[in-house]
Structure formats: structure tokens, C-alpha cells
Amino acid sequence: MTPETLNGSPACHHSHREHSSLLLRIVLWYTVATTLWIYFSDRALLFFTTDPHTLTTWSTIKGWTFVAVTSTILYFILKRIMLRIEQMNTALAESERVFRTLFETSQDALSISDENGLIDANDSAVKIFGCASREELIAYHPGQLSPPFQPDGKDSVAAAKERLATAIAEGSQFFEWTHRRIDGTVFPAEIMLSRFELRGRPVLQATIRDITERRRVQEALQASEAKFKNLVEHLPLPLFVKDRNSVFVFCNQAYASELGMKPEDIAGKTDFDFSPREMAEKYRKDDNWVITTGQTQSNEERNVHMGREKWVRATKAPYRDELGNIVGVMLWYEDISARREAESQLRKLSQAVEQSPASVVITNTRGNIEYVNPKFTEVSGYTSAEAIGKNPREKCRWKLTGRCGRRSQRGRRGRGNCATAGRTVSFSGRWPRFLHSPTKAGR
């Protein structure tokens, strides 16, 4: 920072204004004091005497007294003024030193310009534009340190002049700008223009920040958000987000379709708008539990929305902001009504087999017994534990007969017939014969 630039700093102009104000007050005080002294002292002399010789003598004494008194007063006033000026100059020098240090050591690029172009710049500004020296940088107009056109299509030089004029008129301007380095590379920048007085004329200090990295992060974040939104929108599972007051703030298309609404029509509503009161109160209670504990909740529950009932497996998790604070809940669920119905049918079938009046034996494809029903246990005398895992081909005691109960081709008991049975099950998946076996007691 040059001394000339500093002499035009706001601190310097403030000091000049204070000096001028002080001198004006002294002149006014002196004028009033002398006028009053002359007027009242002359009237006092005329009140006591009218003799010309006496008046002359006392007028001379009055005049020398006035000179002595005012000289003494002026001496102390001027001494005080000089002390104050010295203090102000010391403060001004310190202010200039701090201002120079801040200007020169700032990590932000700083420049000072007027309507004609650059006046001064710090080392950070020289570096950000890739110049060899400060003198090289200030030879350019701010508009020349930009590509021919800005992203909005405006001519850079004309737009720069417009920005400078607006900042001088209004006092400040804050905007984003595309700059160009001396080597031709462009970069996005954030500009802050501030007006102040320099040698009696308005100038601007520009703070220039390269926001290339911030733009890159913003673009990456936007791309990530777009991917996430696209994933959520096309997720086949219904998903929605509610705030801490259980008010819907977002939902995907799958959830909106279930309600026969648009996603934007659901935002701002609550469960009370879609579900019976008792269920809505339960949902809200679950929301509060997840928000309070910060834990994920997963369970199967009956779901009623817009009068339609189904069974779902719902997972409710805390929804956090970028700082990790819990700001709501996120829920997604899967319709398990078909599975529940299949399980119900399976339970009915299981009960039918369990209660069947006929013995039922189930084996795997290798012939190993996997299940026997209570009737088999009752008839054979073998418990489930004794039968399960056994294979009729090993130490088989059972007889094979045809469909009508006749004995097998050889009418023998033993391994061969059981092996045939095992092969029949393995290859054809069915066993078109009857199995005769003695009970555990030998009957």
C-alpha cells in the first residue's frame, strides 16, 4: 500500500475533519469573547467616569489586560490542541499501520479502483490473476481481467463499469463474477465492493475470492442430490419424510400413488389427514420414540390409509441434517399382505395335516424322513424324534404293496423294496404304492 493511498484513507479524512471542527470552535469562541469584553468593559468605564484622561488610562490598562488574559488562555488552548493533534497523529499512524498490514497480509485478493481503473492491489490479488508484479496488475481495467462476456451474456467491460458506478452510488455491491487470469484461464469469483474517500474523491475497495472449489463442491452436491432424488423417486417401496412435528415434508411417487395424490399435495399434511385417529396417534408416538432415542424401529403392522387396509413391514429411522442433528423421521415400508395370506393358508394346511385321521410321512428326495404327523405316531408307536432323520432303506422293516394292498412282486420284506421306493421318490417325485410296517411293538 502506497503512502499516498493511505493518506486518503477514511481515518485520515476523519482526522482532517476533526481538526477543522476544532479550529472553527476556537475562532467562534474568540470572536464571542472579545466582542463581549469590549462591549461590557467600555460600558463599565463610562459608568464610573466620563473624564477623557481617565478613560484613556483605563482603556489602555483594559487593553493590555485583555491581551494578557487572552494570550494566556490561547496559550493553554493551543497547547491542548497541539497535544490532541499529536495524539491524533499517533492514532492515525497506528491506524494506517494496521490498515497497511491488513491490506498486505490478507488472504483475500484486495484492490482499490476508481472509475478509470485500478489504483492499488495486494500480493494476493497479484497472485490470483497470475501477474508478475503489482504494477502489471494495476495496468488493467477490472473489465479487462474477465472473459469477453459473462455467463449471462453481458459484455464484461460494460458490466464491470456498471457495477463500479452502482457501488460508488450506493456504497457497496456484492455479486458473483467470472474473472480471467493473465494466462487466459477463467475462474468464478465472489466480489465485494466497498466505497470510501481517497484524496477527496470516492474510490472502491474490491474483495475478490476464488470460489472454484466451492462451486465444484456445490455441483458435486447437486449431482449427488439429483442421484439420490432419482433413486428415491424410482424406488418401488413407498418412502416419506416427516419433521419433528410429524408433518410430511417429502414423499416419493410410490407413496403418493398409494394415496392417489401428487407428492406436492402431501407435503404439509399429517397422518390425521389420511388415517383413523387411533392409528395416526400410534404413528405419532412411534415418530417421537425414534426422534427421542435416535434408534431405528422396524415392525409389521396393520396399515390403513384412505380407507384401504393392508399389512406392511415398516422401517422408521431418524432423519438428520448435514450437521447430524435429528430433524425428523424417514419411513419406508413393504406390502406383506400376500405373504401374510400365504402364511395363513400354510397354517391351515399344517393344522389339517396335524389333525388328519391318516398317517402322514414326509421325506426328502433321498428318502430321509423329515416329518410325521401325530396319527403316524399313534399307529406306529414311534415318536417324531425316533422317526425323523431315519431312512426306510436302512434296516428297513416295512413291506411294499401295490395300489390295492397286494404284496410286491416278490412279496419280500427288506432292503430291495425300500430301495425301490427310495428310487421312485427320487426320480419321479411320487410313490404309487402302499407301505406296510410293523409297529414299534412288533404288531
Clarify whether residues 179 and 273 are in a common domain. Answer: no
What is the model's pLDDT at position 76? 84
Clarify whether residues 239 and 335 are in a common domain. Answer: yes
Is 442 within the bounds of a domain? no
What is the model's pLDDT at position 400? 42
Is 58 within the bounds of a domain? yes
H/E run at residue 189: strand 186-198
Give me the tens of pLDDT residue by residue for the chain, a chain 443 residues long: 443 444 444 445 555 566 677 777 777 877 887 788 777 877 777 777 778 888 788 888 878 887 888 888 878 877 887 888 788 888 877 777 777 777 787 888 999 888 777 888 999 999 999 999 989 998 887 778 999 999 999 998 888 888 888 898 899 999 999 999 999 999 999 999 999 887 778 889 999 999 999 999 988 888 888 887 788 777 788 899 999 999 999 899 888 888 888 989 999 999 999 888 988 998 999 999 999 999 999 888 777 665 667 788 889 999 998 888 999 999 988 888 777 777 778 888 888 888 888 888 888 888 888 888 888 888 888 888 888 888 766 544 444 444 434 434 444 444 445 555 554 444 445 555 555 566 666 66
Clarify whether residues 399 and 424 are in a common domain. Answer: yes
Clarify whether residues 60 and 34 are in a common domain. Answer: yes
Predicted model pTM: 0.45
Clarify whether residues 278 and 363 are in a common domain. Answer: no
Range of the domain at 410: 356-436
What is the model's pLDDT at position 224? 84
What is the model's pLDDT at position 25? 78
250: left (phi over 0), alpha (psi -120 to 50) or beta: beta
The answer to whether residues 286 and 316 touch, using CB atoms and an 8 Å cutoff, is yes
* Domain closes at, from 104, 123, 157: 104
* Domain closes at, from 40, 73, 104: 104
* Domain closes at, from 37, 71, 104: 104
Helices and strands counted in the chain (H then E): 14, 14
For the chain, give the longest Cα–Cα distance. 179
Is 223 within the bounds of a domain? no
Which ranges in 294-358 belong to alpha helices (H)? 337-354
Clarify whether residues 98 and 114 are in a common domain. Answer: no
Domain count, the chain: 4
For residue 431, the SS3 value is coil
Instruction: Give the C-alpha separation, 415 to 334, whole Å.
Output: 51
Clarify whether residues 99 and 111 are in a common domain. Answer: no
Clarify whether residues 293 and 369 are in a common domain. Answer: no
H/E run at residue 79: helix 52-105
Is 221 within the bounds of a domain? no
What is the model's pLDDT at position 352? 81
Compute φ and ψ for 112, nearest 5 degrees. -120, 130
What is the model's pLDDT at position 409? 42
Is 153 within the bounds of a domain? yes
What is the model's pLDDT at position 434? 54
Instruction: Give the C-alpha separation, 82 to 278, whole Å.
Output: 85
Clarify whether residues 279 and 241 are in a common domain. Answer: yes
Clarify whether residues 140 and 74 are in a common domain. Answer: no
Enumerate residues 6+ apart whose C-beta is below 8 A from 107: 124
Instruction: Give the C-alpha separation, 136 to 145, whole Å.
Output: 12
Is 173 within the bounds of a domain? yes
Instruction: Give the C-alpha separation, 374 to 143, whole Å.
Output: 95
What is the model's pLDDT at position 407? 39
CATH (domain of 326): 3.30.450.20
Long-range contacts of 142-149 (CB under 8 A, 24+ apart): 142/111, 142/113, 142/117, 142/118, 142/206, 145/179, 145/180, 145/181, 146/177, 146/178, 146/179, 146/180, 147/178, 147/180, 147/186
**Joined grid coordinates for residue 132:** 508478475
Is 382 within the bounds of a domain? yes
What is the model's pLDDT at position 8? 46
**Joined grid coordinates for residue 343:** 402364511
Clarify whether residues 310 and 365 are in a common domain. Answer: no
The answer to whether residues 342 and 316 touch, using CB atoms and an 8 Å cutoff, is no
Is 218 within the bounds of a domain? no
Clarify whether residues 118 and 100 are in a common domain. Answer: no
